[in-house]
Each structure stands twice: as C-alpha cells, then as structure tokens.
Amino acid sequence: MPTGKTTKRGVRPASRGSYNIREVAHAAKVSVATVSRTLQMPDVVAPLTRSRVQAAIDRLGYTPNAQARMLRTARTHIVVALVPDIANPFFAEVIRGIEQVAHQNRYSVLLGDTQNSRIRETAYADLLATKQADGLITLLPHIPKVCVSGTLPIVNACEYVKDKSITSVYVDNIAAAKEAVDYLITLGHREIAFITGPMESPISIDRDRGYEQALQAAGIKRDRKLTSSGDFSVESGIRAIETLLAQNRRFSAVFCSNDEMAIGALQALKSKGLKVPEQVSIIGFDDIRFARHMDPPLTTVAQPKDELGREAMNLLIEILRGDNVPARKRILPTQLVIRGSTARCANKPSR
C-alpha cells in the first residue's frame, strides 16, 4: 500500500503513478467499472461523474498500467447474452441458437439472467464496457444504459429498440398477432378476449395492435373489458381468466400474448369446468416446447426461436470482424400452428 500524507482534501501520493484503479474508484466514490469507462469511453459517463473521476486521477497521480491496457484491447472471445427471465422456456431456445453459432466460431457465451433488474443488467453490460467481453446480445426491450454510445458491438434480438444505430433481429409481431386473431374470426368467434404482455414492452404493444387490426378488419368493435394485462407468466394467465369470469365477461375465444399465459388460461378455464375448445378456443404465441404437449395441444404463433438466436450471433460476429456493416433491422417469418385448442364457435360464448 503506497504511503502518503492525509490532508483535508484526500490522500496525497508519495510518488506519481503509485495508486491503482481501485483506489481511484474509492477516492471518487464510484465503482471500478465507472473509472474504467471514464478512461476508455468518457462519452458514456455523466459529466459530473466524469469530473469526479478525473479529479481523483489528477489528485492521486494515477497512470493506467500499459500492460493492463494492452490486455484490455485483446479479444476475449466471450460474448454476453442478456435475458430478462431464464425461467421462460422461450429464451432457452433462443440461447441455444446463439450458443451453437458462437461455438462454431470459437466464442464462449456468458449468460446474464437480469431477472428484470437494471442493477443486474448494468453489472453484466459493464463486462462489455470494460473490455472483459467482446460483444453483447440483449433479449431486452432496451439497450443497457452503459452501452448507449452506439460504438459498442451490440445486437438486440426478439425485442426491438428505436435506436437506429443498433442492429436487431425479430419478427413482425403486428402481422403475426393479426393472423392469429383473423383465424379465430374465420372460426366464427366475435367475442375474443385478449391477455396482453407488459405494455412497456414494444412486442406487447405490437401484439395489441395486431389484435385490434384484426377486429377492425372484420368490423368488430373492440370491447376493452375483454382485455386483461399479464406479465408473460403462467400465473398471470390464470389471474386474467379468473378476473374475466368473475366479472361475467362474455367470450368464446382467448388470444394470449405468449404461450405461458395461454397455458395458464387453459388451466384456469378447465378448473372452472369450461371445455377447451368446445366452449372456449385459445391461441398462444411463441410455440414453446410445452405447447404441443398440453391437453388439448395449444394452437399458437410459432417464432423461429433457434433461428433468432443464430441470426443474432451471426450479426454480432460480422460486427466483431470489423466488416463495417451498417446497423440493420432483420425480420424473420412466423407461422400459425393449428392444434387442438381451437375450434368453430359454439352457439353461445362461455358466459
């Protein structure tokens, strides 16, 4: 530990360059990652924070170690994949696609399960910002704050962001949702309930738009009382159906923004003695592995999950190779998979 004289203004160094980055972080009252970002990418650090870090560097006489700096510029062959909830089986299949292409190109994948926490998200994203990982694939509806400079190798998958400088790969959620609801309408359903995902998510907003467009095209006035909010979990699908039934809402079909909520809806309907699809038809979204094994098997919109992961990793590799490719928005096709949970509308809706 270097020796120095303590003053009211802080620690005065015994010799210039004798302090390390942790001591600079302590003096500036920030994290080591923030000091590293200030040195390497000052444009992504808030001006006030940047000033505090620079003041600590000047006061302590800190000089970055040349060897450490060289190591930070070398390739790690590690990429970080951020998911909001690894318990959701949809993300597991996307990650598999990412890992397959990564392995073929001699990259390792570090999985970051953010659990919808911005603190955890930032901790993982810091690995990219501080050169401990080469690239980042985010399956979130936004880009981590520490990566918003537009200069880092990032690909957004499944969700999508407005930032034109970010390469994204996803599906057309409006068209896919409209196709699903159109199918219910062709079966004679007109009172179609809808369980949304969290409406801060762009894909939830677009699936809501697709639902509404299908109703409008068929001349059906939307009944907002038939829309119930969910959070993509099985439990929220159960709660949504229980709420609709408790309020005596009339519906003969249910469109759900993902399969987990559709599975919850199916369970809730059966627990209330309602037959699927004889009394109520159900359509989900994603085509997770469990969908085909439900009783009855779930009609759903199939997303190309493995391909979404593969394409995201391929796009990231192009960026990492320095091919100077412009940011792109790539849309992959979906498919409506018809199974046993949908049928022609009976004479009377469920309630």
- pLDDT, one tens digit per residue, over 20-74 is 888 888 888 888 778 877 776 676 678 888 888 888 888 887 876 654 554 455 6
Whole-angstrom Cα Rg for the chain:
25
Q: Is the peptide bond before 13 cis (omega within 30 degrees of 0)?
A: no
- Percent of the chain at pLDDT above 70? 87
Residue 80 has pLDDT above 50, yes or no: yes
Give the DSSP letter of residue 291.
G
The residue with greater pLDDT, 327 or 297, is: 297
Residue 213 has pLDDT above 90, yes or no: yes
**Average of per-residue pLDDT across 136-161:** 84
Every domain of the chain and the residues it spans: 4-71, 76-170+305-332, 173-304
Cβ-contact 154, 44 below 8 angstroms: no
Residue type, 30: V
- pLDDT score for 3: 43
Which of 36-50, 104-118, 301-315, 335-349 has the lowest average pLDDT? 36-50
d(CA 234, CA 219): 31
Tell the CATH topology of 4-71: 434 Repressor (Amino-terminal Domain) (1.10.260)
- pLDDT score for 348: 54
- pLDDT score for 9: 44
Q: Which two tokens stand for residue 242?
A: 């229980």
- Nearest-5° Cα angle at 299, 297 to 301: 135
- Percent of the chain at pLDDT above 90? 62
Which of 35-39, 84-88, 115-119, 256-260 has the lowest average pLDDT? 35-39
The residue whose two tokens read 């998200």 is 121
Question: How many residues in the chain?
Answer: 351
Which of 108-122, 151-165, 178-192, 244-258 has the lowest average pLDDT? 151-165
| CATH code for the structural domain at 76-170+305-332 | 3.40.50.2300
Mean per-residue pLDDT of the chain: 88
| CATH code for the structural domain at 173-304 | 3.40.50.2300
Q: Which two tokens stand for residue 283?
A: 């359509």
**Average of per-residue pLDDT across 144-155:** 77
d(CA 286, CA 304): 8
DSSP state string for 189-222: --SEEEEE--TTSHHHHHHHHHHHHHHHHTTPPP
Sorted by sequence, the CB contacts under 8 Å of residue 60 that are 6+ apart come out as 10, 11, 13, 19, 23, 24, 27
- Residues paired with 169 in a beta bridge: 157, 330
Residue 169 has pLDDT above 50, yes or no: yes
Residue 151 has pLDDT above 80, yes or no: no
* Confidence grade of residue 14 (pLDDT, cut at 50, 70, 90): very low
Residue 128 has pLDDT above 50, yes or no: yes
**Same fold yes or no, 76-170+305-332 and 173-304:** yes
Q: Which of 189, 180, 187 is nearest to 286 (CA)?
A: 180
Q: What is the pTM of this model?
A: 0.78
